Chain A
Amino acid sequence: MFSGYIESILVFNGIHIIMALSLYLPFSAGQISLAQAGFMAIGSYASSVLTLHFGFPFYIALFLGGLLSALAGVLIGFPAIRITGIYLLLLTLAFGEMVRVFFLNFEYTGGASGMGGMELKTNLINVYSIVAILIVFFHRLDKSRMGRAFASMREDEVAAEVMGINIIKAKLIAFGVGAFIAGIGGGLYAHYAMYIDSPKFGFILAVEFFVFVVFGGVEIFWGPILGATLLTLLPETVRFLSEWRMIFYGLVIVVLMILRPQGLIDKKLVNWIAKRTQNPFRRKGTL
Chain B
Amino acid sequence: MSFLSVNKITKFFDRITALNRVDFEVQKGVIHALIGPNGAGKTTMFNILSGVLKPTDGTIKFDNTEIQALRADRITSLGISRTFQNIRLFKSLTVLENVMVGRHCRTRGGLASTFFRLPLKVPSEEMRIREVAEELLDFVGLSERKEDKAANLPYGSQRRLEIARALATDPFLLLLDEPAAGMDTQETEDLAKLIFKIRQQGKTILLIEHDMHLVMGISDVVSVLNFGQKIAEGSPSEIQSSPKVIEAYLGS
Residue of chain A at shortest CB distance from B110: A146
Interface membership of B72, Cβ < 8 A: yes
Query: A-facing mask of B95-106, CB < 8 A → 1, else 0?
Result: 001001111111
Residue of chain A at shortest CB distance from B166: A163
Interface membership of B88, Cβ < 8 A: yes
What is the minimal beta-carbon distance from A84 to any residue of chain B, in angstroms? 16
Residue of chain B at shortest CB distance from A156: B88
A159 touches B111 (CB 8 A): no
Query: Chain B residues near A159 (CB, 8 Å)?
Result: 84, 88-90
B52 touches A160 (CB 8 A): no
Of residues 159 through 204 on chain B, the ones whose CB sits less than 8 Å from some CB of chain A are 165-166, 168-169
Query: Chain A residues near B102 (CB, 8 Å)?
Result: 163-164
Kindly identify which residue among A136, A145, A155 contacts B126, using a CB–CB cutoff of 8 Å.
A145
A162 touches B50 (CB 8 A): yes
Interface membership of A108, Cβ < 8 A: no
Whole-angstrom CA separation of A147 from B104 in the bound complex: 11
B114 touches A151 (CB 8 A): no
What is the minimal beta-carbon distance from B110 to any residue of chain A, in angstroms? 6
A148 touches B100 (CB 8 A): yes
A165 touches B119 (CB 8 A): no
Residue of chain A at shortest CB distance from B122: A285
A162 touches B82 (CB 8 A): yes
Query: Chain B residues near A161 (CB, 8 Å)?
Result: 51-52, 71-73
Whole-angstrom CA separation of A286 from B119 in the bound complex: 8
Query: Chain A residues near B119 (CB, 8 Å)?
Result: 287
Kindly identify which residue among B82, B91, B109 contacts A155, using a CB–CB cutoff of 8 Å.
B91
Query: B-facing mask of A143-175, CB < 8 A → 1, else 0?
Result: 111111101100110111111111110000100
A145 touches B125 (CB 8 A): yes
Interface membership of A272, Cβ < 8 A: no
Given A144-B126, A158-B52, A159-B89, CB of A164 within 8 Å of CB of B114: no
Query: A-facing mask of B24-59, CB < 8 A → 1, else 0?
Result: 000000000000000000000000001110000000
Query: Chain A residues near B76 (CB, 8 Å)?
Result: 162-164
Interface membership of B107, Cβ < 8 A: yes
B165 touches A163 (CB 8 A): yes
Measured as residues with beta carbon below 8 angstroms from the partner, the interface class of chain A is 20 to 34
Interface membership of B2, Cβ < 8 A: no
What is the minimal beta-carbon distance from B177 to any residue of chain A, in angstroms? 11
Interface membership of B145, Cβ < 8 A: no
Interface of A is mostly: helix
Interface membership of A21, Cβ < 8 A: no
Of residues 105 through 138 on chain B, the ones whose CB sits less than 8 Å from some CB of chain A are 105-107, 109-111, 114-115, 117, 119-122, 125-127, 129-130
Kindly identify which residue among A165, A285, A286 contacts B104, using a CB–CB cutoff of 8 Å.
A165
Whole-angstrom CA separation of A145 from B122 in the bound complex: 12
What is the minimal beta-carbon distance from B251 to any residue of chain A, in angstroms? 33
A148 touches B104 (CB 8 A): yes
Query: Chain A residues near B122 (CB, 8 Å)?
Result: 285-286
B73 touches A164 (CB 8 A): yes
A165 touches B105 (CB 8 A): yes
Interface membership of A281, Cβ < 8 A: yes
Interface membership of B92, Cβ < 8 A: yes
Of residues 121 through 154 on chain A, the ones whose CB sits less than 8 Å from some CB of chain B are 136-137, 140-141, 143-149, 151-152
Interface membership of A93, Cβ < 8 A: no
A155 touches B90 (CB 8 A): yes
Of residues 209 through 251 on chain B, the ones whose CB sits less than 8 Å from some CB of chain A are none
Can you list 25 A-B pairs, Cβ within 8 angstroms, ordered by A?
A141-B114, A144-B109, A145-B110, A146-B110, A148-B93, A148-B101, A148-B104, A152-B90, A155-B92, A156-B88, A159-B89, A161-B52, A161-B71, A161-B73, A162-B51, A162-B73, A162-B76, A163-B105, A163-B168, A164-B73, A164-B76, A165-B104, A219-B92, A285-B130, A286-B120
User: Which residues of chain B have a CB within 8 Å of any CB of chain A?
Assistant: 50-52, 71-73, 76-77, 81-82, 84, 88-93, 97, 100-107, 109-111, 114-115, 117, 119-122, 125-127, 129-130, 165-166, 168-169
User: Which residues of chain A have a CB within 8 Å of any CB of chain B?
Assistant: 136-137, 140-141, 143-149, 151-152, 155-156, 158-168, 173, 177, 219, 281, 285-287
